Amino acid sequence: MNNSAFNFDTLSPDVIMDALEGIGLRVDSGLTALNSYENRVYQFMDEDRRRYVVKFYRPERWSAAQIGEEHQFALDLANAEIPAVAPLALQGATLHTHGGFFFTLFPSVGGRQYEI
């Protein structure tokens, strides 16, 4: 995709579900949009009731190499037992493509509770 043709409107629920099915996951719960300024991020459950977060990267913003570096850093943090959510490797990769979008899958985990 080039910047002049870029439009997140093409990232429909059907496109998202096709992308996830392409890496072996079936969405069973529907998609819940999560807050993200730059990318499109959704939470869902698969047919085995496991919760995931899928992140679709804004086209033309990051290269595959840059995203791969981010993924490796997150994996290094997790391997060093530093609390970080690392991307999941499915079909031997953490970065996938579908319909002109890069996307990544993460386990859905709870975050830190705000102290009031």
Is 100 within a domain? yes
Domain holding 52, by residue range, is 3-107
Q: Are 15 and 4 in contact (CB under 8 A)?
A: no
Whole-angstrom CA distances from 51 to 28, 57, 69, 78, 116 are 10, 20, 25, 19, 28
DSSP 10-24: G--HHHHHHHHHHTT
Q: Are 19 and 99 in contact (CB under 8 A)?
A: yes
Q: What is the mean pLDDT of the chain?
A: 90
pLDDT of amino acid 5: 55
CA angle centred on 73, ends 39 and 12, rounded to 5° = 20
pLDDT in tens, 6-48: 678 789 999 999 999 999 999 998 899 999 888 999 999 999 9
Domain count, the chain: 1
Is 115 within a domain? no
Mean per-residue pLDDT for 82-89? 95
Is 45 within a domain? yes
Is 51 within a domain? yes
CATH of the domain at 25: 3.30.200.70
